[in-house]
Copies of this chain bind each other. A is one copy, B any other.
Amino acid sequence: MRRGVIFDIDGTLVDTNYLHVVTWWEGFRRQGHDVLMVDIHGAIGRAGKDLVEYLLPEASEEEAEAIKGVHSELYKPHLDEVRPVPGAGELLHTLAGRGMVVVLATSAPKDEADRLIEVTGAREAVSVLVDADDVDKSKPHPEPVRQALEKSGLDPRHTIMVGDSVWDMLAARQAKVGCVALRSGGIDSGSLREAGAEAVYKDCHDLLQHLDESPIARLL
């Protein structure tokens, strides 16, 4: 019986969310829109196009493209600097070593996801990647999670999703996958539990320390 864990990447395995926030903010600002940074923070984890539409429903398609362009241009250089969340690589290696299929499901495009996997230092532990290019709809839609299950041959009953955003939790629940949240992306426990997290840990290191009492233990 195959058992597996599906991980989000941004904010979950690599400490990128705050860099996304300020570069999206700059994109909105340059188009003349004041969007409060905490509101952008709450939208992180959605794919770029959805994020703009969610925060600025009145934006034209052209304007949304311009905002995405600024975000992308300003965010990309940070990919050389970003650091893993504590325990990220160790957690992926430990799960793979204990027979889990490790799957990544991200709203980031493929080249960016690839660089972030490198940052975790655990590329060899990862079996399957589902990125923005693989799906039509992004989280909180369940499609990325369903794609991750399908590509990896996993049954939702024997799979757990680990993420840091309410969008991860909502997508996992809709796909009937259990879910665990990390606070490493800056979203508070209350919001994560309300969105369906069965358990909340500080970061990958904290989850690893408590692995055998965590929801993942039922797969081990």
Contacts and interface: CB of A to CB of B under 8 A. Distances in A.
A152 interface: no
A36 B86 CA distance: 8
Contacts of A41: 18, 186
Contact of A18 (B15, B25, B34, B183): B25
A91 to B, nearest CB: 15
Given A18-B18, A22-B22, A25-B18, A38 B185 contact: yes
A136 interface: no
The A interface is mostly helix, strand or loop, or mixed, namely helix
Contacts of A34: 15, 83, 86
Nearest to A16: B37
Contact of A186 (B29, B85, B186): B186
A188 interface: yes
A17 B22 CA distance: 10
Given A189-B190, A190-B190, A15 B37 contact: yes
A165 interface: no
Contacts of A190: 188-190
Interface of A: 15, 17-19, 21-22, 25-26, 29, 34, 36-38, 41, 81, 83, 85-86, 183-186, 188-191, 203
18 contacts: A15-B34, A15-B37, A18-B18, A18-B37, A18-B38, A18-B41, A22-B22, A26-B81, A29-B81, A34-B86, A36-B85, A36-B86, A36-B203, A38-B186, A41-B186, A186-B186, A188-B188, A190-B190
Given A186-B186, A190-B190, 20 more contacts: A15-B34, A15-B36, A15-B37, A18-B18, A18-B22, A18-B25, A18-B37, A18-B41, A26-B81, A29-B83, A34-B83, A34-B86, A36-B85, A36-B184, A37-B186, A38-B183, A38-B185, A38-B186, A188-B188, A188-B191
